[in-house]
Amino acid sequence: MALGTRMTFIPKKYDIISIGAYALSKPQTKLTHLLHTLELDYLQHTSEFADFDEFIAALHKDPNKFGPIVKSHWDTVISEVPKVPEDKFTEDGLLETFSKEIADSILKAVTKWNAERYDISIALVGRSGDSLLSTAQFSSFHFWGTAAWSWGEKGQILLGQSIVIPRNENIDSLFLRSSTNLRLYRGENTFKGFIEAQYKYQTYEVFKQSLLFNIGAEFRLGDKFWVVATAGINNYLDTPDPMSILVSSLDIRYGLNQKK
């Protein structure tokens, strides 16, 4: 049995509140300035149109009839908002569409498989000799921490740390297993290769220190299953005659959440 928690942190520039604030402020400030230029153009045509929104609708229909200068102003606005629904060619509609496009682009960036993020997990593990909760006792403490950074469009740098402290009846010594892992990914979410280095230290095994070098690949099998294959060399460091052992693994995993 185990009791634990997991926390995920993302950069402030990517959190939902910041995305909303950015979409409603900075992008709109830029577009508002461009629309203000169009408003000055509109003042030259107030006798032809009931309001500014009607002027915008006319520009959308045929900007050439207003001359090259006004057309260039309109082209600048449209270059900032290239995908405007037909019913949004108004001042408010352009601002709304522009903000939505900015927010969507930021959300797409942060939800990519290689987006920057930080995770921390802790757990207390217990065990019971007779499967009764009343006889359960502490077995071990677990900590996991990972930090991930984007490495271009198709890569990720992953740094991880895990610590396990098993129960020890001897109060004069500490049982500890610690591992630090660095992994570099390249590829797409559905298929990516990686290289990896891992340092492990443990106080209660024959081999206390080891350094693992791995290469591997992860690929999706269907919608929910993943295959992870690795091969490498595990180097035992604290023996009189350090030795290296070839290691390999093949795992099949089930994933609930998929990111593109």
Residues 120 and 102 in one domain: no
Task: Return the pLDDT at 94.
Answer: 86
Half-sphere exposure of 254 (CA within 13 A, CB side): 0
Task: Return the pLDDT at 253.
Answer: 87
Task: Return the pLDDT at 104.
Answer: 73
C-alpha distances in angstroms, 108 versus 26, 115, 184, 191, 224?
19, 9, 22, 19, 21
Q: Is residue 260 part of a domain?
A: no
Residue 189 binned pLDDT confidence (cut-offs 50, 70, 90): confident
Residues 38 and 127 in one domain: no
Lowest mean pLDDT among 95-109, 149-163, 215-229: 95-109
Choose the final residue of a domain: 110, 140, 167. 110
> What does the DSSP 8-state code read for residue 13?
G
Q: How many domains does the chain have?
A: 2
Residues 203 and 87 in one domain: no
**Residue with structure tokens 């071990």?**
140
Query: Which residue would you say has higher pLDDT here, 36 or 199?
Result: 199
| Percent of the chain topping pLDDT 70 | 80
Question: Domain residues for 85?
Answer: 13-110
Residues 151 and 77 in one domain: no
| Percent of the chain topping pLDDT 90 | 37
Residues 122 and 250 in one domain: yes
Choose the final residue of a domain: 84, 110, 136. 110
Please write the tens of the pLDDT for every residue from 103-138.
Answer: 676 667 667 888 888 999 999 887 766 665 555 677
User: Which residue from 259, 256, 255, 223 is spatially nearest to 108, judged by alpha carbons?
Assistant: 259
**Residue with structure tokens 């037909």?**
86
Mean pLDDT over each residue of the chain, to the nearest integer: 82
- How far is C-alpha 127 from the chain's CA centre? 35
Task: Return the pLDDT at 13.
Answer: 57
Task: Return the pLDDT at 234.
Answer: 94
Residues 140 and 70 in one domain: no
Please write the tens of the pLDDT for every residue from 38-47.
Answer: 899 988 888 8
Q: Is residue 216 part of a domain?
A: yes
CATH of the domain at 137: 2.40.160.10
pLDDT at 172 over 60: no
The pTM score is 0.62
Choose the final residue of a domain: 110, 129, 157. 110
**Residue with structure tokens 């402020």?**
25
Query: Which residue would you say has higher pLDDT here, 260 or 196?
Result: 196
Residue 17 binned pLDDT confidence (cut-offs 50, 70, 90): very low
Please write the tens of the pLDDT for every residue from 195-250.
Answer: 999 999 988 777 789 999 999 999 998 888 999 999 999 998 877 777 899 999 99
How far, in Å, CA of 115 to CA of 185, rounded?
Answer: 12
Residues 87 and 172 in one domain: no
